[in-house]
Amino acid sequence: MQHDPAIIAGVTLALETAINETISLSLGTREALAQKCGACIAIYCSSPEVSVYFFVNDSGTVSLQNYSEAEITVSLSGSWRDFQTVAAANDAAGALVNSNISVTGDTAALIEIQQIVSDMDIDWEAPLVASLGHVAGHQLANALRGFWRWRTDSHRRISRQVSEFIIEEGRLSPSKHEIDAFLSDVDDIVLKVDRLESRIKRLQRQLKPASEPS
Amino acid sequence: MHETSTDDTTDFGYERVRKEEKAGRVREVFDSVASRYDLMNDLMSGGMHRLWKRFTIELSGVRPGQTVLDIAGGTGDLAAKFSQRVGPDGHVILADINAAMLSVGRDRLIDKGALNNISVSQADAQFLPYADNSIDCITIAFGLRNVTDKALALRSMYRILKPGGRLLVLEFSKPTSPLLSQAYDAYSFSALPFMGKLITNDADSYRYLAESIRKHPDQETLLEMVEDAGFVDCRYHNMTGGIVAIHRGVKG
């Protein structure tokens, strides 16, 4: 289905504005992105059928387009669900490797940009101070920072405790170490089976001339 | 139906006027609305004209160092964007037949500090005063319907484009859904003149706008006209349900 270009242009404009506003709050990110000036990441979504091109500008900002004829550095193709899964994953790089998304082009550039984005250190205090003043802005920023730290710590703690309960106390799932050992054993068996198969084939070849003289 | 030259009259909205009169009548309209043109565009389209122009720029595929001609460029919003795209080695020509619109456009561009690679030129789209094969990309946004002889203007654009250069015509067109068409008609013939009266104290100019849109060729007819002018690889994209369409042609 062909989407209305004006609607897509509206979405990309809103997204571009939000991304650039966020980048402007992280000076380091802007400088790092400027080093990647000229890079173009194309995202081809098959369902719904939408193409979005991310261009990195020399000022460290990003431009989004839904049509481009420029040279593409790296392209990612997949369905909306695939992209959503990768975006929501804790380990985006690992999720990308194991997903149905196909990556074409210079993957090193993609990894570098992904690293820049994950290293983003946003100074949320600046816009709060600008709109609320120094005292109220600083206090609100401190409160938000405290809440964010509590949320991150709680999330990490709960995840660890749930994981410990499932693996150690409930024995509901094997530990990572046990899975690794099991997979290693499976690999050994696969190798041994391969070797056995080739030995059988060799023996069959050796026996053939004796039983079937030509 | 194509616009033909069998008689010496042409459309001015729903009126028939002599061909030599149309440019003067159109000039009066734009003289009247020039100072509030952008504000009216935002109000009338609910800001959509920015998205239509954004897609036009994307479709242009303009690269640094190229030469772009923005015909009927009026207040210079497309020219300012192209100026960033072509960079210091490129060149953008903002052209319009109307001096009042050009004056507003030039002032805007000066305010934006965007005149270093832009030149401003008063020119008639039918007789473009530029060398053959000299322009990489031509855009005409919401201007073709005001041109007296559209076929002549398209041939003039073809002449000055470099081989491989592209033409982009952004213009009001025919809504694809009958329901949208009815709502659009109601809006154009009642709300537009009212807004025009309120903002620019000129309801007639905005009545002309609505009428001229109805008299403008629909998507398929304009596509044929672009092909007849000699362009190849011609296609169009409907936007906002066909209220606006962008036609693209390449000089072979």
- This complex has an ipTM of 0.78
SS3 category, A195: helix
Place of tokens 């003149």: B193
**A68:B238 CB<8 A:** no
CATH number (domain holding residue A64):
3.30.1050.10
Are B51 and A9 a contacting pair at CB < 8 A? Answer: yes
Mutate to test the interface with A, among B45, B52, B55, B136 (most CBs of A within 10 A): B55
For chain A, the domain total comes to 2
Minimal Cα–Cα distance from A140 to chain B, Å? 34
pLDDT tens track, chain A, 214 positions: 668 899 999 999 999 999 999 998 888 898 899 998 889 999 999 888 899 999 999 889 999 999 998 899 999 999 988 888 888 877 777 788 888 899 999 988 888 888 888 888 888 888 888 888 889 989 998 898 899 889 989 988 998 888 888 888 887 888 878 888 999 999 999 999 999 999 999 999 988 766 565 4
A67/B58 touch (CB, cutoff 8 Å), yes or no: yes
Interchain CB distance below 8 Å, A4 and B238: yes
- Contact assignment for A10 to B55 by CB distance below 8 Å: no
Please tell me the CATH superfamily of domain B27-177+206-251, with its number: Vaccinia Virus protein VP39 (3.40.50.150)
Chain B residues whose beta carbon lies within 8 Å of the beta carbon of residue A11 = none
Assigned token pair, A100: 């149905």
**Structural domain boundaries, residue A154:** 125-211
Task: Give the number of residues written for chain B.
Answer: 252
**A131 in the same domain as A98:** no
**Quick check: A4 and B59 CB within 8 A?**
no
Could you tell me if A10 and A60 lie in one domain? yes
Whole-angstrom distance, CA of residue B140 vs CA of residue B186: 27
| pLDDT tens-digit series, residues B172-221 | 999 999 999 989 888 888 888 888 788 777 777 778 888 888 888 999 99
Q: Which residues of A touch B (CB under 8 A)?
A: 4-6, 8-10, 13, 65-70
Q: Which among A46, A42, A65, A56 has a CA at the least distance from the CA of B59?
A: A65
By Cβ distance, the residue of A4, A10, A66 closest to B58 is A66
Q: Which residue of B has its CA nearest to A11?
A: B51
* Contact of A144 with A153, CB cutoff 8 Å: no
For residue A107, give both structure tokens.
């993957």
Q: Are residue A94 and residue A32 in the same domain, yes or no?
A: yes
**Is the CB of B55 less than 8 angstroms away from the CB of A67?**
yes
How far does the CA of residue B56 sit from the closest CA of chain A (Å)?
10
- Look at residues A59, A85, A118 and tell me which one is the last residue of a structural domain: A118
Residue reference for tokens 């816009």: A127
> How far apart are the CA of B242 and the nearest CA of chain A, in angstroms?
9
Quick check: B51 and A10 CB within 8 A? yes
Same domain, A153 and A205: yes
**A31 and A133 inside one domain:** no
Rounded Cα–Cα distance for residues B192 and B213 (Å):
12
Exposed, middle or buried, B226 (CB in 10 Å: 0-12/13-18/19+)? buried
Q: Would you list the domain boundaries of chain B?
A: 27-177+206-251
What the block records as the tokens of B49 is 């004209």
Same domain, A10 and A114: yes
Residue B231, pLDDT score: 97
Are A79 and A175 part of one and the same domain? no
- By C-alpha distance, which of B112, B114, B209, B125 is closest to B160? B125
A203 lies in the same domain as A142: yes
Which of A72, A93, A118 marks a domain boundary? A118
How is the beta sheet containing B231-239 ordered, strand by strand?
B118-122, B91-96, B67-71, B135-141, B161-172, B244-251, B231-239
Question: Same structural domain for residues A53 and A110?
Answer: yes
Last residue of a domain, one of A118, A145, A171: A118
Shared-domain flag, residues A11 and A74: yes
- Alpha carbons A150 and A122: distance in angstroms, whole number: 17
